[in-house]
Amino acid sequence: MRDSLVAAAFQLFLERGYEQTTVDDIVTLAGVGRRSFFRYFPSKEDVVFPDHERCLADMTELLGRSGDADDPVAQVCDAARLVLRMYAEKPTFSVQRYRLTRKVPGLRAYELSVVWRYERALAEYLRGRFAGRPDGTLRADVIAAAVVAAHNNGLRSWLRSDGRSDATAEVDHALAHVQQIFGTPGSSAETAGSAAPATPATEEDVVVVISKRGAPMWRVVQEIETTFGRDPG
């Protein structure tokens, strides 16, 4: 029932346009009553994004399960991947919706409010993990925003390719960029006891980085990452 309402709605949105389609049109095509529609979707906008509530619940559950041993940045990257997975499960639908959302300002606004809820979920989790640390709230907000922006950059690349590129590779690449900036895989201060794939860290180890004074910070960070990875534990 729910799926057939979504299918009917999208068929009409693509044929007539979003604004020109009413809830009555949708229920007539789906062969159900108006009340059935509103049992599943509070409004016409909600039928365009039928899976976000479930995805937000999954995200909250995933983050709720994570322990103190898990790297917080890696955790929010994994949480963001749930969104990618939801899109990648239905490539045709996702690409159609992307085109629709770009054309209808009301849907764009709806999408921004959904993105904001994801970002808040990630930020709340990070605020908990960074609680009591200097600038914990600030760091949490900045990292959550960076993860969402990177995820959406990768997701958009895939949507713009009409679903032809590798969605997972696009998003993984983008999230790796953020992890390189904010998280250190295997860094014990943040991830003591985590199952990160890097060499096990010992507080006593030291890493020496020699860098040209003129190098931009991101390049220095890259260098450190490489050094961390290359140096045998």
Q: What are the C-alpha distances in Å from 49 to residues 72, 111, 131, 155, 225?
A: 28, 8, 33, 16, 38
Nearer to a second copy, 31 or 193 (CB): 193
Min dist CB 213 to a second copy, Å, is 3
The CA distance from 110 to 18, in Å, is 14
Alpha-carbon torsion angle 84, 89, 93, 95, nearest 10: 40
Q: At closest approach, how far in Å is the CB of 143 from a second copy?
A: 8
Residue among 16 and 156 whose Cβ is closer to a second copy: 156
Cα–Cα distance measured from residue 114 to residue 230, given in angstroms and rounded to the nearest whole number: 40
Cβ 27 to a second copy shortest distance, Å: 26
Residue 11 or 153 having the CB closest to a second copy: 153
Which residues contact a second copy (rule: CB under 8 A)?
Answer: 108-110, 112-113, 116, 135, 137-139, 141-142, 144-146, 148-150, 152-154, 174, 177-178, 181-184, 187-190, 201-221, 224, 228, 231
Q: How far apart are the C-alpha atoms of 226 and 91, rounded to whole Å?
A: 35
- Triad 105, 106, 108: Cα angle to 5°: 60
Closest distance to a second copy from the beta carbon of 24 (Å): 24
Q: How far is the CB of 33 from a second copy (least distance, A)?
A: 28
Query: Residues for the chain: how many in total?
Result: 233
CB closer to a second copy, 17 vs 229: 229
Of 82 and 224, nearer to a second copy (C-beta) is 224
Q: In the bound complex, what is the minimum distance in angstroms from residue 63's beta carbon to a second copy? A: 18
Q: Which amino acid is at 39?
A: R
Q: Which is nearer to a second copy, 22 or 113 (CB)?
A: 113
The b/e string for 151-175 (b: 16+ C-beta within 10 A; e otherwise) is: bbbbbebbbeeebeeebeebbeebb
